[in-house]
Amino acid sequence: MFKLPVMVPLLLLGLAAGSSGVARAEDTPVPKQVVIVANDTLKFSVIRIDAQPGQTVHVQLRNEGTMPKSNMGHDWVLLASDEDADTYAMAAVSSHDAGFQPKSQAEHVLASIPLLGPKEQGEVTFCAPLKPGKYPFICSCSGHSMAGMKGYLIVK
């Protein structure tokens, strides 16, 4: 029977541990800061956010509109897929009392900023998904996303 010297298994263990990836400072993506302005035109000022897998993203939403929150408030909801976005938007229409964020769809939400009235701002910090892809974000208030108030987080 062949036996390895004690140092060889320890060396192999060390190599395996090193390849499993302790993140080094130079490997960690710089946090991304994004400011999105919404107003009474049913458009987000930013419709594409690029991020690296696992990157910290800080989104600030500013509602610079003047119309009442009840019909022209804005929120920001990041979802897991396009299919989730359509389903979420439809469910949100009847979720006025929950701030247009339907509890039945909460499992599909990756990050969100609650409904904001005129001249209000909100923010959220989250880690971008590890899986590369396109992740939709929408305003779920009163069908705003169906009118074009949406965009994508692109993870690559």
Selection from 16, 11, 51 nearest residue 33 by Cα? 51
Per-residue pLDDT tens over the stretch 5-16: 444 344 333 434
Per-residue pLDDT tens over the stretch 47-90: 999 999 999 999 999 999 999 998 899 999 999 998 888 888 88
In the prediction, which pLDDT does 101 show?
Answer: 73
Q: Is 45 within the bounds of a domain?
A: yes
Q: What is the rounded average pLDDT for all residues in the chain?
A: 84
Contact call for residues 102 and 95 (beta carbons, < 8 A): yes
* Tally of domains in the chain: 1
Contact call for residues 148 and 141 (beta carbons, < 8 A): no
Q: Is 3 within the bounds of a domain?
A: no
- How many residues can be counted in the chain? 156
DSSP string, 53-122: TT-EEEEEEEE---S-HHHH-EEEEEES-HHHHHHHHHHHHT-GGGTT--GGGGGGEEEEEEEE-TT-EE
In the prediction, which pLDDT does 124 show?
Answer: 98
Q: Is 22 within the bounds of a domain?
A: no
Q: Is 58 within the bounds of a domain?
A: yes
Range of the domain at 147: 29-155
pLDDT average, residue stretch 90-113: 82
If pLDDT is split at 50, 70 and 90, which confidence band does 26 have?
low
In the prediction, which pLDDT does 19 show?
Answer: 41
Q: Is 131 within the bounds of a domain?
A: yes
Q: Is 107 within the bounds of a domain?
A: yes
| CATH code for the domain of 65 | 2.60.40.420
Q: Is 12 within the bounds of a domain?
A: no
Q: How far apart are CA 65 and CA 52, in angstroms?
A: 32
pLDDT average, residue stretch 85-104: 78
Contact call for residues 66 and 118 (beta carbons, < 8 A): yes
* E strand or H helix at 35: strand 32-38
